[in-house]
Amino acid sequence: MSPPSAEEALLMTLVAVVLCGLALAVWRLAREGGGARALGETRRRLGDSTIIIFEPRARFIGFKRAWDAQWRGQGVLALTEEALYFRNSRGGHEFMIPMERLEHARTVQEDEAKSGSPILETTHVGPDGGRRVARWKVREPDVWVGSMESIMERSIHDGNTADEKRTH
């Protein structure tokens, strides 16, 4: 068998490039479709609540407790006026932090988080009355912080603070 001619080699290279391009396009469409699917599922789960911010591939770094490793991972993070919602895309674990229990939201810089980029950190009151700190890797943590602060500010004006809920 003789080696391919220059034209055959060029044609094989062109076919390989086209196939790689098609594979990349299918992969990107699947990712975008996955985000749309996750948004649809989240909307169904949250009912009539308006989603203010949505991150289909948020990475939940975890609570600041050693035994919470099962909650870590990638999934959907959504913010509504009523709650911060997370659903792990692999294990189906989900939880909601009611906004009236949220005490603080901030962006933690990389030297504190050791992740190489800023992350979102929230502090809230858990069901047992204890303080919980959760960390999330999202695309625009400052936007999340601003939105949460805005909701908390409105909540304070309405008289629904985490401290008030804890004392009742």
CA 84 to chain centre: 10
The segment with the largest mean pLDDT, out of 19-28, 30-39, 106-115, 137-146, is 137-146
Helix (H, G, I), strand (E, B) or coil at 161: coil
Q: Could you tell me whether strands 131-137 and 73-80 are parallel, antiparallel, or unpaired per DSSP bridges? A: unpaired
pLDDT of residue 165: 41
pLDDT given at position 89: 79
Q: Are 97 and 82 in contact (CB under 8 A)?
A: no
Counting beta carbons within 10 angstroms of the beta carbon of residue 119, is it exposed (0 to 12), middle (13 to 18) or buried (19 or more)? buried
**In the chain, domain spans:** 48-167
How confident is the model at residue 3, as a pLDDT?
83
pLDDT digits (tens, 9 = 90+) for 39-93: 777 778 888 888 899 998 898 887 766 555 556 788 899 999 999 999 887 766 7
Residue type, 106: R
Whole-angstrom distance, CA of residue 105 vs CA of residue 26:
37
Provide φ and ψ at 4, rounded to 5°.
-65, 150
Residue identified by tokens 């695309």 is 139
Task: Identify the CATH class of 48-167.
Answer: mainly beta
Tokens 């989240």 correspond to what residue? 42
| pTM for the model | 0.68
Amino acid found at 73: G
Other residues' Cβ atoms within 10 Å of the Cβ of residue 10: 11
Residue 80 burial (CB count, 10 A): 20
The 10s digit of each residue's pLDDT in 84-134 is 999 887 766 788 899 999 999 999 875 555 557 789 999 999 888 888 889
Q: Number of C-alpha atoms within 13 angstroms, CB side, residue 147?
A: 18
Residues in contact with 11: Cβ distance below 8 Å, sequence separation at least 6, in sequence order: none
